[in-house]
Amino acid sequence: MKNSKSSYRWTICGLIFFATTINYLDRAVISLLKGPLEQEFNWSESDYANIVIAFQLSYAVGLLLMGPLVDKIGTKMGYALAIIGWSIAAGGHALVSSTLGFIVARAALGITEAGNFPAAIKTVAEWFPKKERALATGLFNSGANVGAILAPLTVPYIAAEWGWKWAFIITGATGLVWLFFWFRGYGNPATHPKVNKEELAFINSDSVEIDQASQEPALSWFSLLGFRQTWAFVLGKFLTDPIWWFYLFWLPSFLKAEYQMENTAIALPVALVYLMSTAGSVVGGWLPLQFIKSGWPVFRSRKTAMFIYALGAVPVMAAQWLGSINMWYAVLIIGLATAAHQAWSANIFTTVSDMFPKSSVASVTGLGGMAGALGGMLIAKMAGLLFDHYKALGKIELGYFILFMVCAVAYLIAWSIMHLLVPRMKEIKV
């Protein structure tokens, strides 16, 4: 009787889902504690923006370093080193006693958390054929939303019960638990005892010359900048990643400014936004797979889906107008925008493994992530200056209106630039 195909690759997908959940849980903590920390340390909006920028700058540098590191030492050890580092950095926030201390702590968290996505995307490239990569990426990337959901449902309550320091310590410790399962479960699919020959053949079904591909040298990041495909990904990330950063770090502040909600009161609205974004992440991988199954080429399927998701972000420009009718309308429209972002994100990540050899996937992902973090720094600085300016005038809502307009159009601009740079699929050969 013919052996059935094993499906251990989805267990691996589950592992990187939980790592991504922890990654976002740790980075979201500070936005939920902004109120009490603002009072204790007398922060202005620009002070908070500078703390956010410290994270993003170090995250950008970390992506530049971590992508090539993961390509060099391998996915298993690269991921492990990253999560050990960011777990220690997250818990280390509890030792901070000044604004400068928070800047240092956020910088340490940023440089270590940068290892997550290069390692995760490389894992998907190693464990999944191209036709399943968008779905796998969407599933693990939904961990970002789950982390952002868990944060408001836990952090404010931990802080209320035991103080803000314990919120950082407890969330930071979760990464060390994940390590146990990673070391027990991860391995090379070609030699893994839980992968049978049918599943291995399916994983490698895109490759004509598997042995040659496994020996391809990784391109340096400088060499990668010579390809239009690299610039399409880098600019796409530069323009759209900052939107997610804005939602992540300023959504609780928006609810406080517009509706006087803070501490445990923001738990349900923030959780609902990220619950919606979780659905967007999964649908983001599902839709192009349906296009592919109907006979469309992979690249056309990916780009068509991304255009649809770009349109899904546009309605957020009406968030405040709808929120003037009912706060929950604003929450729902922001939730739709975050869902569109995560659907977009699942596919823009997958374009890397579509166009580049596996040996360079983590490096390209790192370059794009670095660009996204630099864009995040710009939007953080803009937010700090706008909010301080309009807060002084008693019209802080105008600052949010400007930022929501930027959020609405960023994806269509990014899609257009990517289409101009790479109008048709062209794989890079080493």
| pLDDT of amino acid 409 | 96
Q: What one-character-per-residue DSSP string does 297-348 give?
A: -HHHHHHHHHHHHHHHTGGGGGHHHHHHH-HHHHHHHHHHHHHHHHHHHHHH
Is residue 9 within 8 Å of 203, Cβ to Cβ? yes
User: How confident is the model over 141-156, as pLDDT tens digits?
Assistant: 778 778 888 988 899 9
Residue with more model confidence, 366 or 202: 202
CA atoms 389, 393, 394, 399: torsion sign: negative
Confidence of residue 215 (pLDDT cuts 50, 70, 90): low
Report if residue 262 sits inside a domain.
Answer: yes
Average pLDDT in the 408-423 region?
93
Confidence of residue 211 (pLDDT cuts 50, 70, 90): very low
Report if residue 204 sits inside a domain.
Answer: yes
Report if residue 171 sits inside a domain.
Answer: yes
Report if residue 407 sits inside a domain.
Answer: yes
Report if residue 82 sits inside a domain.
Answer: yes
CATH number at residue 177: 1.20.1250.20
259 exposure class (CB count in 10 Å sphere: 0-12, 13-18, 19+): middle
Segments forming the whole domain that contains residue 330: 9-419
To the nearest whole number, what is the mean pLDDT of the chain? 87
Report if residue 241 sits inside a domain.
Answer: yes
- Write down the pTM of the prediction: 0.75
User: How confident is the model over 90-107, as pLDDT tens digits?
Assistant: 999 999 989 999 999 999
| pLDDT of amino acid 10 | 92
CA atoms 254, 256, 258, 259: torsion sign: positive
Q: How far is CA 10 from CA 83, 94, 132, 194, in A?
A: 21, 36, 11, 12
Report if residue 425 sits inside a domain.
Answer: no
Poorest-confidence range of 5-9, 31-35, 255-259, 359-363?
A: 359-363
Type and span of the H or E element at 135? helix 130-162
At 255, which amino acid appears? L
Report if residue 97 sits inside a domain.
Answer: yes
Is the pLDDT at 23 greater than 90? The verdict is yes
**Domain count within the chain:** 1
Confidence of residue 210 (pLDDT cuts 50, 70, 90): very low
